[in-house]
Amino acid sequence: MLLSDAAKSYEADKKIEGFSAQTLNAYRIQAKLLIDYFGNININKITTLQLKNYLAESSNSLKPSSLSHRIRFLRSLFRWLHEEDIIELNPASKIKEPRVGKRIPKFLTEREIEYLRDACFSPMEKALFEFMFSTGCRIGEIVSLDRNSINWGNQSAIVRGKGDKEREVYFNIRCDIWLKKYIDSRYDNDSAVFVTERSPHRLSIAQMRYIIKRISKRAGINKTIHPHQLRHSYATHLLNNGAPLEVIQSLLGHEKSETTRIYAELSGRLRQEINKDEKHTN
């Protein structure tokens, strides 16, 4: 089987399994890079040594996390090919990911959150910011959110996360107020919760990122603000208020508890030092 055919069959199988469009697109990019390097050769001709050479060359231009992603794709692809009896031996079975040190998630202080909140002008900006911060949702989950996914009775919403898995998230009263004001102010019939201001249609991830960047610029905070920082801030806020890690894991939609446990690295002493530094600078 040719490499291009193997990649298409693999993608089709993962689509049937319910993998998200974003994940499938990422796999498609990795498959193209593989074909660009090896050419459209017979999949059986690729050896472990060739894969290691490919990864070694890739490591010159990739961060360890990106290289790990590439390795996970190769291991998944060739494992699937082996399980489907398309190849007799799996050349990627013994390839290991690079060691990546634990990174403490970047979060925003309560003061910074208030600066950002104050810098939101329109009902849409206020609704989007409050929803991001009070639910801790990933930006892709918010982009795909529909109006009929919101349960106003208990201030919750059903979002579709990684692996196309659904989970229930909860928003606070402030978010409830601004979300209703925003939706009530619209005259379009688009099913999306958040839409563009002109010719209303569902916001893209890039457009949503731009809105957060616009808000942070107005707030005058001397750091680059990304939507994912609001997710980290939400988790840190829950941790500071005594929420069990199991609850935080469920609300964030983390598959592994280890991912959530990283937030516990922000010990009480470190949080106190951060708050102390903030008082001195203000």
- pLDDT digit string (tens) for 30-50? 899 989 998 999 988 889 999
Which superfamily does CATH assign the domain made up of 110-279 to?
Answer: Intergrase catalytic core (1.10.443.10)
Task: Give 87-132 pLDDT, tens digit per residue.
Answer: 888 998 888 877 655 555 566 777 888 888 899 999 999 999 899 8
Nearest to 12 by CA among 46, 4, 92: 4
- For the chain, count helices (H), then strands (E): 13, 3
Residue 267: pLDDT band with limits 50, 70, 90: very low
Q: Return the percentage of the chain with pLDDT > 70, whole number.
A: 74
| Model confidence, pTM | 0.58
Contact 95, 55 (CB under 8 A): yes
Residue 270: pLDDT band with limits 50, 70, 90: very low
Residue 181: pLDDT band with limits 50, 70, 90: very high
Q: What is the spatial distance between Cα 218 and Cα 227, in angstroms, rounded to a whole number?
A: 15
- Residues of CATH 1.10.150 domain(s) within the chain? 3-84
DSSP secondary structure code for residue 44 in this structure: G
DSSP secondary structure code for residue 203 in this structure: P
Q: Please tell me the predicted confidence (pLDDT) of residue 26.
A: 85
What order do you get walking across the sheet with 150-151 strand by strand?
A: 150-151, 156-160, 166-170
- Residues of CATH 1.10.443.10 domain(s) within the chain? 110-279
Summary mean pLDDT of the chain: 80
Contact 216, 229 (CB under 8 A): no
CATH domain 3-84 topology: DNA polymerase; domain 1 (1.10.150)
Query: Would you say residue 273 has pLDDT above 80?
Result: no
Q: What is the spatial distance between Cα 217 and Cα 221, in angstroms, rounded to a whole number?
A: 7
SS3 14: helix
E runs forming strands in 23-62: none
